[in-house]
Structure 1
Amino acid sequence: MKDWGELSETFEKIHKKAILKELNNESEAQTRFDIIDRVIREILQYVHGQISVEPHTEGVRNGFIDYILLASEYKIIVEAKKIGASFPSPTRRKKLKLTGTILGQGEISEAISQAESYARNIDADIVMVTNGECWCYYPLTTSSRNSIYASLLFPFENFDDAETLYNIFSVNNVENHSLKSITTDNDVILNNKLIDTLNNSDYRLGRNNIADHIMPGIDYALLSDNLLRNSEVLNRCYVSTDSRVKFDTTLQMHLSQYKPNLILPAKKVKRGNSKDDLFKQIDITTNTNSNPVTLLIGSVGSGKSTYLKYFELVKSKELLKEKKAHWIYIDLEEIGIDGNPREFIYNSLNNYLLKDNKENPTDYESLIGPAYAKEIEALSRGPYAMLKKNKEKFEEKIIELIDSDYKKVEPYVNKVYKYLSSKQLCVIVIDNVDLFENEELEKRVFSEATSISKSIKCSTIVSIRDTTFIKHKNNSIFNAYELKKFWINPPSFREVLSKRLIYAQHLLKGKSADVEINNGITIKVDDLSLFFSIVQKSVLNENNGKFLEYLSDRNPRKGLHLIQNFLTSGHIQADKAIRNYIEGEANFTFPYHELFKGSVLGQWKYYKETRAEAINIFESNLGSSSLQLVRLYILQFLHSRSKIGLSEVLLTDIRDVISQIGISIDSIKSIIKTLVNHSLIHSNEEHLEDPSYYITLSGGYYIAFLSNLMVYTESVMLDTNIYDNDKFEELTDLTNQIEYERDILERMKIRKNRMIVFLEYLIIIENNILNNPELEKLKSITQIKEKITKEFDKAISRIEYRNKKSC
């Protein structure tokens, strides 16, 4: 959204039109088109869905309203008259009495009366009348008209008035409660959250009783860094099958393809092939070729780093050995966001030379001496010819020469690698170029990496995200080099989890531990791998497996992080699981609510979005009850499109629907960015002015399942603003009762009542804002309430049954 400074030039253009004399004789429609409409759209920046033009009204006086403007929870009525209409002339007095001699008679009085009548019929907040030159406005109140004063602005006569009009009525400022300065509204509620009423809102549960005993399994099986160092383990855990789903039957939605069209043409890496296209390229590459820069492109979590390590240590190990190729892997993760790419890459190349590369020696005799042979020979013929017979002194001069280059790094690396690449194949692999998501750093890294590798005659493979490639594809840095592109799909999510858990089980096989359970008793666990047997059954079954798969959007890295949270969280009853398993309950699995809380909350007792692994779709954090559910509605809209095969939706289409709630395009973009950052929606076109977005598996899961579940909605409720003070007090009271109630059945009943109060509060908001046929389709809270109420009823019945059985 542009600020006033940026809009001044646009305002000047409108101003020039406004001062043309012929406008005095034009109609209301022409005035509106030439002046008022431009001010509303270009200066105040209202967009399509936020502007209703001349709708019919009902009530005391039927007629037409020139504009209804919607922003946040506010409605503004604008009655437009032609420029020649008799309105007040510029005056030093900025406020005039509504029933006074100036505003209480003539054409402006008639316009005010008409607009106010309209405003009362539709419960508007602000009445405004204008002929383009004079803008007169006041809040609609129940006070006597005789006590109301209207404000007047003359933006084309006084530049300060133009800025005041912008400051009060521009859509972004209205969303940020600028109208409080002219209304009698109570203070805006920005933080009425139940989480803040709890004394121990930041309480940590700590780890579960078995976490410390299974950490070796977690560290070595789930954390990818450890896998990438060991060829045997990497081979054991590597997944050779892709994730291939175009239509998800569970969520009933069409999925956009992983491989964006803008990547084409790019050959797909076939994980399962022993000799894929990259293998073939390395096979035919020689040290004499002028090779293109090779890009390995994939989405976040597609396994680019794992594939490159697998290629080096397993798949192409024999090929690289046969060709005596040097594979120099440079991980940009270590550079840091403020690092110097050129310096880092040169130091990395130098560090490779210092390693003990036994099969491909890079020591002095094998490489350094021969690389400097011409310079040494030149010294012996030239300035140090007389020292040649004195071997010791001559060698000192050689050391000085090499040492001088070595200390400067670049001359040394250039000299040695140019020689090395003339004799053997050298492949420089640059990984994690875009880890820090810094556009300038990405450009510098790619530019330096490619120019350095070209100058020292090495082949180059650069691993980048699809979004990074699309963002830079037309950049001069990319166009400066011949590019060969490979695409890698994400691996099968469940197979990744399965192999990692099996390996963790293998690591703990036969390891024993004394585990203290909650009542202080210690149980002897002879084989800790039993725990991972339970975990496998719990997280890979249909219901729980889909939770991890969908919440992580099939991103194995995110899924493994969720598993790590779960395995160590105090929310899971790990000791109970082990005890039951030892006692013969072989079918024991962790329930869904423990998996959810363990994965999403980790060691925190209560949900806060800033520290949780799940987003709150019932709170948009825009400081307005009317805009509270915009996250939910954007997801709902995209989900409905994906169900009919229209997965990709333009930003303008999203804007046209969602802006009818009264939200600015800037706020829509802000929410979309949040949803993208949390992987609920995605775009391959964010570099475009009007990009398209599609809902991901994760976003579909939120809409179709999570939002309808007790454990999710009750968790996020604590971190949701309650803008109705009475409802907030009622919910606070119920929350306190829950905290102090010790009877499980009574506690569950109070929790149910609290949930009903919360959802009924959201239903009121929903009914107020989704009030036309197009928006009606987005309604969902009533359905959510029905499903969650049934879930509570089942939980209460189970407790009552257990209580009766124990009597």
Structure 2
Amino acid sequence: MIRLIYLPAGNSKIEYSIKSISRDNKNLKAAISQAAAYCQERGAPFGAVSNGYQIVAFIAVRSDGISPLEGKALVFCSLEKMLENFLDLWQALSKPGVEEKRLQARLIGDLQSQLPRKLSETIATYPGIKGRNVFQTDLQTVSDLVIEDLTRSEVLEKDFLEECYCKTGALSQHSLASKNILEARYAALFDSKAPAPVLVKAADRQGISPELLAESLSRRPILLIGSVGVGKTTFIRNLIKVEAPSVFEKAITLYIDLGSQATLSIDLKSFVIKEVTNQLRKDYEIDIEERNFVRGVYHSDLQRFRKGIYSDLYDTDPQRFKEKEIELLEKKLATPEENLKQSLRHIANGRKQQLIMILDNSDQRDESTQQQVFLISQEIAEHWSTTVFVTLRPETFHRSQQLGALSGYHPKAFSVSPPRVDLVLKRRLDFALKLTRGEIPIQVLPEGMGVRFASLEAIICSFLKSLRTNKELSECIDNISGGNIRLALDLVRGFFGSGHIDTQKIVDIQGKDSRTGYIIPLHEFVRAVLFGDNIYYDATRSPIANLFDISSNDPKEHFVLPLLIGVIHSLGSNGSNGGFVETNIVYEHFQGLGFTANQVDEALVTSTRKKLIETTARLIPQPGQIMPHTLRVTTLGLYHISRLCGLFAYIDAIILDTPILDSETREVVRDVRDIDLRLDRAESFKGYLDDQWSGMSMQGLGFDWNNASNELEQQIAYIRGRLRRFA
């Protein structure tokens, strides 16, 4: 057996420089070089060589500019040394130790701490709160009232649904994702290793699925599955008020909002019982504790009681007999759950009315609550003579199936797909216009609201015309929201009251000539989305990600996120699995490009959290852990690499959040407000990224920085020209 290491007797160290232990040892040097080459080919960050009783472990892939052979190694020159230093051996080379990168921490420290500071870290007030003037504050208030709050009013509900509801399932006209991916929105989101529900569309462009109403005859909960914000609640409201009013008007419909109504301090089952009891009394004038109703519910029990051991009292002591009856009924009412169940059965049988219970927004609660909701819905559907609808997200269903309440349940589920975002916005804004103009009366208006309505009307008219004439604006909202209607509406409301937008200018221009009006340019809307309520861009709060952030001193890591999106999209477009790509193929691809597994881990976690890609069952992966089986790009991810990274507004914002490895560029990138200085800063940053990209061979991977760089250069030149023209 070849001896790898020769160390002086009595030496107790286990850390050595690789140069010192391999200077006079050709075998060791050759072994380390060979192992390092294997690691670099595969993107494996750690390497080790061993002859069976000696181990030399080292960092094989570094991103701090130092050659692996010039670094340090952890050396165990005998089995005795391993036993003597077993804790060090375990911490560095065990599976948990490797996952936690203990060897890296020991030999070279935390690379992230060695990164140059981001510009944002030098700004004392970062990210800051953007102030609004009185006009902007008023617009924010009135837009919230008209676009969101009033639409929830019971008085306006039917008008709102008839005017604003859009059929689900229509494919977006502005999405950057292919049609087959949009059509397969929920395909492959369920783990192929576990049984999935039979998915049936709850509705399409023709209307509500007949199967949905037919399923109400079963004694199982009816699952309505839809992603966050697609409109599950609005779908239910429209089903009740517009699509099937004849069914629901004849039925007793109990709607339980487990998101906004159910407090965390109350037991969930107790809340459902209390809420159902209150709705029966308020909406249907049924008091389940009223004397005659209670005696009707327990009529058969009272009949048996009359023939029981107290039957003699009926003639000899009627008063005492009545007291005993009351005691019996008192015991029945002492168990609210059983009493409500018997009351609902009595209503269903006595009134010949169908009972329908809707448990909505349970997916806004924690997982254990969601498990409880489904168990409660199963019990109610099976034993309470009640049809139960439960709304769930696809990922909630998957986790429940894997971990708890749904594990033995193989149901049919109805999917709720999003409507077209552009149509929803048009109808909602048209409805808002009718409210501001008084065409749809509002019963009570706060004082002075009429003046603010006039300003909001001008903004809405401008926005509606911009949606019709500016394709870039429609495309932006459509792809950022990705079918999340709630987010799309939030983006629009946020724009109306943004402190980053001169809304007074828009109102003034719109007021001068309503025919021509003001067309909102893309960069204004993007700025409002990027910054939100902050002065500076903050990646933790903005729905827009920083594509060029890095976690190590490896310059090519600036492009790992856009390349990841591009590669997954490119591979997914060629397949037939709804755009999904096997994760191991992605890792092999990137390790072949010289990225480490750790860099790919970080990119996958970041891009999933920022919704640039989605995984099987939409699980959020964790670094060092087993990754989901398949990956797919989202419209938000595609919009980042296809549009945003070539926009000056985007680059201008994310510069502050990006570590710059080149010291000369770092010197000229400052916190500036003047537009000319910001353009200079963006040009310097563009040149820096150009230099990093030029040293890489990354062609044909679904993303090319050169294209984005050219677009950015043209934008900067255009802005400079405009500034000169109006100087």
Please classify the TM superposition score into its range, dividing by the shorter chain length. Answer: 0.7 to 0.9
Contact 1:569 1:602 in 2 (8 A): yes
Distance 1:427 1:305 in 2: 15
Q: CA, structure 1 residues 149+205, in 2 after alignment: closer, same or farther (shift >3 Å)?
A: closer
Within the candidate set 541, 545, 567, 1:615 is matched to: 545
Question: Deviations 1:220-256 (Å, cap 9, x if unpaired)?
Answer: 4335971677432332344332343389785678525
Distance 1:634 1:683 in 2: 13
- What are the residue-to-residue correspondences of 1:270-309 with 2, within 5 Å? 270-273=203-206, 276-277=209-210, 280-281=213-214, 285=217, 291-309=219-237
Distance 2:454 2:17 in 1: 87
Distance 1:584 1:342 in 2: 58
- What are the residue-to-residue correspondences of 1:67-86 with 2, within 5 Å? 84-85=2-3
Aligned to 2:719: 795
Within the candidate set 317, 332, 348, 1:421 is matched to: 348
Distance 1:374 1:185 in 2: 75
Displacement, 1:587? 2.5
Distance 1:127 1:267 in 2: 50
Within the candidate set 429, 433, 458, 1:505 is matched to: 433
Aligned to 1:697: 635
Does 1:659 pair with 2:591? yes
Does 1:134 pair with 2:77? no
**Which deviates more, 646-655 or 504-513?**
504-513
- What are the residue-to-residue correspondences of 1:387-786 with 2, within 5 Å? 400-423=327-350, 424-436=353-365, 438-473=366-401, 477-478=405-406, 480=408, 483-509=411-437, 528-540=456-468, 541-584=470-513, 586-621=516-551, 627-644=557-574, 647-660=579-592, 665=597, 668-685=600-617, 691-732=629-670, 735=671, 738-739=672-673, 747-766=674-693, 770=696, 777=701, 780-786=704-710
Displacement, 1:205? 2.5
Contact 1:566 1:572 in 2 (8 A): yes
**Which deviates more, 125-134 or 303-312?**
125-134
Identity of aligned residues (%): 19
Q: Secondary structure at the match of 1:355?
A: helix
Displacement, 1:750? 2.5
- What are the residue-to-residue correspondences of 1:99-498 with 2, within 5 Å? 105=24, 108-112=25-29, 130-136=50-56, 152-154=75-77, 156-157=79-80, 158-159=82-83, 161=85, 164=88, 167=91, 179=104, 181-182=106-107, 188-190=113-115, 192-207=117-132, 209-213=135-139, 215-223=141-149, 226=152, 230-245=156-171, 255-256=181-182, 257-260=184-187, 265-273=198-206, 276-277=209-210, 280-281=213-214, 285=217, 291-321=219-249, 324-333=250-259, 334-335=261-262, 340-358=267-285, 364=290, 367-382=293-308, 383=310, 386=313, 400-423=327-350, 424-436=353-365, 438-473=366-401, 477-478=405-406, 480=408, 483-498=411-426
Aligned to 2:623: none
Q: CA, structure 1 residues 528+220, in 2 after alignment: closer, same or farther (shift >3 Å)?
A: closer
Q: How many residues align?
A: 686
Q: Secondary structure at the match of 1:206?
A: coil
Displacement, 1:182? 4.0
Displacement, 1:570? 1.1
Displacement, 1:175? 8.7
Give me the TM-score of the superposition, normalised by structure 2: 0.81
Matching residue's letter, 1:236: E
Aligned to 1:75: none
Q: CA, structure 1 residues 149+591, in 2 after alignment: closer, same or farther (shift >3 Å)?
A: closer
Question: Deviations 1:563-592 (Å, cap 9, x if unpaired)?
Answer: 121111111111111111222263212222
Q: Secondary structure at the match of 1:610?
A: coil
Q: CA, structure 1 residues 485+190, in 2 after alignment: closer, same or farther (shift >3 Å)?
A: same
Aligned to 1:88: 6
Question: Deviations 1:704-730 (Å, cap 9, x if unpaired)?
Answer: 101111111211221122344553333
Aligned to 2:622: none
Displacement, 1:192? 1.3
Contact 1:253 1:643 in 2 (8 A): no
Displacement, 1:447? 1.5
Q: CA, structure 1 residues 547+384, in 2 after alignment: closer, same or farther (shift >3 Å)?
A: farther
Unaligned residue ranges in structure 2 (runs of 5+): 191-195, 620-625
Q: CA, structure 1 residues 711+650, in 2 after alignment: closer, same or farther (shift >3 Å)?
A: same
Aligned to 1:53: none
Matching residue's letter, 1:434: D
Question: Deviations 1:252-301 (Å, cap 9, x if unpaired)?
Answer: 7852512325556333222555663256427x84xxxx533321122222
Contact 1:95 1:149 in 2 (8 A): no
Q: Secondary structure at the match of 1:637?
A: helix
Distance 1:471 1:327 in 2: 29
- What are the residue-to-residue correspondences of 1:6-21 with 2, within 5 Å? none
Q: Give the structure with higher Rg (CA).
A: 1
Distance 1:111 1:117 in 2: 10
Matching residue's letter, 1:610: T
Unaligned residue ranges in structure 1 (runs of 5+): 1-23, 25-83, 516-522, 740-746
Displacement, 1:310? 1.6
Displacement, 1:637? 1.1
Displacement, 1:604? 1.5
Q: Secondary structure at the match of 2:476?
A: helix
Q: Secondary structure at the match of 1:434?
A: helix
Q: CA, structure 1 residues 386+665, in 2 after alignment: closer, same or farther (shift >3 Å)?
A: farther
Distance 1:210 1:778 in 2: 41
Q: CA, structure 1 residues 513+281, in 2 after alignment: closer, same or farther (shift >3 Å)?
A: closer
Distance 2:150 2:452 in 1: 31
Contact 1:112 1:128 in 2 (8 A): no
Distance 1:102 1:659 in 2: 29
Matching residue's letter, 1:748: I
Q: Secondary structure at the match of 2:277?
A: helix
Question: Deviations 1:120-147 (Å, cap 9, x if unpaired)?
Answer: 9x9999997643432347899999xxx9
Question: Deviations 1:629-673 (Å, cap 9, x if unpaired)?
Answer: 432221121232345456211111111122346656566445434
Displacement, 1:534? 1.4
Q: Secondary structure at the match of 2:198?
A: coil
Q: Secondary structure at the match of 1:459?
A: strand
Displacement, 1:374? 2.6
Q: Which has the higher contact order (CA 8 A, sep 6+)?
A: 2
Q: CA, structure 1 residues 207+400, in 2 after alignment: closer, same or farther (shift >3 Å)?
A: farther
Q: Secondary structure at the match of 1:222?
A: helix
Contact 1:302 1:488 in 2 (8 A): yes
Question: Deviations 1:509-557 (Å, cap 9, x if unpaired)?
Answer: 1699999xxxxxxx99867523321122234541111111111112101
Q: Secondary structure at the match of 1:133?
A: coil
Q: CA, structure 1 residues 351+513, in 2 after alignment: closer, same or farther (shift >3 Å)?
A: closer
Distance 2:111 2:602 in 1: 26
Contact 2:140 2:494 in 1 (8 A): no
Q: Secondary structure at the match of 2:529?
A: helix
Contact 2:202 2:212 in 1 (8 A): no
Distance 1:783 1:753 in 2: 20
Distance 2:5 2:538 in 1: 54
Contact 1:251 1:701 in 2 (8 A): no
Distance 2:460 2:265 in 1: 41
Distance 1:180 1:480 in 2: 45
